[in-house]
Structure 1
Amino acid sequence: MYAISLGDDGAELRPLEPWQAEEFLAHIDRGREFIGQHNALPDVVHDLESSRAFLQAYAEKAAADAGRICGIRADGKLVGAVILRRMDVEQRTAEAGCWLEPSAVGRGLVTRAARVLIDWAVEERGIHRVEWWVSSANEPSIAVARRLGMTRDGVLRESYLYRGKRHDEEIWSVLAPDWRASRPVS
């Protein structure tokens, strides 16, 4: 299996697959409360069967060229993930997302991993517009969107019902020409 280095600290990005369901569940369990503040994933992945089903759904998305999931590893341990929740190669649009367990926060892992995934989507799959949908209350995820050079397109007021409460959702995006222009020259 391939791994992409995320820097000098040994962090790496690797695909997540259904056979890793047990490790994925353990990761979600470690971060369940933290991840669940803004992300419904802990409500979906609650046992080995649901963990396997979640990863299988992404395997099917990858096979259909409609999405991806990649695990973020620090010191060999799964600590988070970045995803292309949806990807439409015909329309050349995608929606990216992420999460981390608490032990991995503050190291820039999501920003570095999202850069790799977005770069792949733009350069390898020809995606023109990458979106980042985020609860207005999720300040760390909004900070990632900013660090990625995204523009806030707007706010969908009370559009997201989560755990019985309505939340505003922000949509951030980056277009392929802006993405390419913002990359460091090598």
Structure 2
Amino acid sequence: MFTLPLGDRARLRPLEPWQAPEFLAHIERARPTVDPWIPWASLSTDLASATATLQRYADRQAEDSGRIYGIWLDGTLVGGVMFTRFDKDAGTCEIGCWLEAAGEGHGLVTRACRLLIDWAFAERGMSRVEWWAAAGNTRSIAAARRLGMTHEGTLRRRYPHRGVRQDSEVWSVLAEEWPAPDGTDDT
């Protein structure tokens, strides 16, 4: 298993089904900030459902169609980032994130997402990375802005969550717009 540093106190590493007890405890702590926005968080309510959530991502990774990673701060799982969709043939993927209150304010999501975007463009040859956020999720939209993404539009009443139809904002960055991992411009 690999671990990548996100600063002195934080690490990024794969989140796997065997970690379901730790994931469930984390989701319980994160529920107030993630439940309004992330449908799978509301579905991870016991050990079986938390395991199923992580197993879905393990299956997606095996199919090369998605991945999930946890963010640990001082040894405690406080959030994560993921490829919710990964389509190597089309050259597009979608990333997402979540964080509990204890992980906020450390720049963890921005640093972790930069690693995922770097990998998608440099290693996998993606052409486009997307970010979809519920229109009311100001923290997610702010993260897309920090990553230098462009707001492409809003899909009105795109999906139901907790009995309310949600609008989705679509943000993206293209390979030619993304800076090289060493900070130099490849053009």
TM-score, normalised by the number of residues in structure 2: 0.94
Task: State whether residues 94 and 130 of structure 1, in contact with CA within 8 Å, keep that contact through their aligned partners in structure 2.
Answer: yes
Distance 1:34 1:64 in 2: 30
User: What is the SS of the residue equivalent to 1:180?
Assistant: coil
| Structure 1 residue runs without a partner (length 5+) | none
Distance 1:69 1:7 in 2: 20
Partner of 1:31: 30
Partner of 2:92: 93
Query: Within the alignment, does 1:160 sit opposite 2:154 as a pair?
Result: no
Give the 3 Å change call, closer, same or farther, for CA 156–182 of structure 1 in structure 2: farther
Partner of 2:141: 142
Task: State whether residues 118 and 181 of structure 2, in contact with CA within 8 Å, keep that contact through their aligned partners in structure 1.
Answer: no
User: What is the SS of the residue equivalent to 2:98?
Assistant: strand
Partner of 2:4: 4
For residues 53-68 of structure 1, the aligned pairs below 5 Å read 53-68=52-67
Partner of 2:150: 151
Q: CA deviation at 1:35?
A: 1.0
Task: State whether residues 35 and 41 of structure 1, in contact with CA within 8 Å, keep that contact through their aligned partners in structure 2.
Answer: no
User: What is the SS of the residue equivalent to 1:14?
Assistant: strand
TM-score, normalised by the number of residues in structure 1: 0.95
Task: State whether residues 79 and 99 of structure 2, in contact with CA within 8 Å, keep that contact through their aligned partners in structure 1.
Answer: yes
Distance 1:53 1:157 in 2: 30
- Identical positions, percent: 54
User: What is the SS of the residue equivalent to 2:178?
Assistant: helix
| Structure 2 residue runs without a partner (length 5+) | none
Partner of 2:74: 75
Query: Within the alignment, does 1:46 sit opposite 2:45 as a pair?
Result: yes
User: What is the SS of the residue equivalent to 2:179?
Assistant: helix
Aligned-residue Cα RMSD (Å) equals 1.5
Aligned-partner residue type, residue 7 of structure 1: G
Distance 1:87 1:123 in 2: 15
Task: State whether residues 155 and 168 of structure 2, in contact with CA within 8 Å, keep that contact through their aligned partners in structure 1.
Answer: yes
Render the CA deviation track for 1:34-54: whole Å, top value 9, x for unaligned. Answer: 211211122211111111111
Distance 1:38 1:57 in 2: 19
Render the CA deviation track for 1:134-180: whole Å, top value 9, x for unaligned. Answer: 01111111110011010001011121211111221100000011013
Query: Within the alignment, does 1:125 sit opposite 2:124 as a pair?
Result: yes
Partner of 2:21: 22
Task: State whether residues 149 and 182 of structure 1, in contact with CA within 8 Å, keep that contact through their aligned partners in structure 2.
Answer: no
Q: CA deviation at 1:183?
A: 6.3
Task: State whether residues 81 and 97 of structure 2, in contact with CA within 8 Å, keep that contact through their aligned partners in structure 1.
Answer: yes
Aligned-partner residue type, residue 169 of structure 1: S
Task: State whether residues 69 and 82 of structure 1, in contact with CA within 8 Å, keep that contact through their aligned partners in structure 2.
Answer: yes
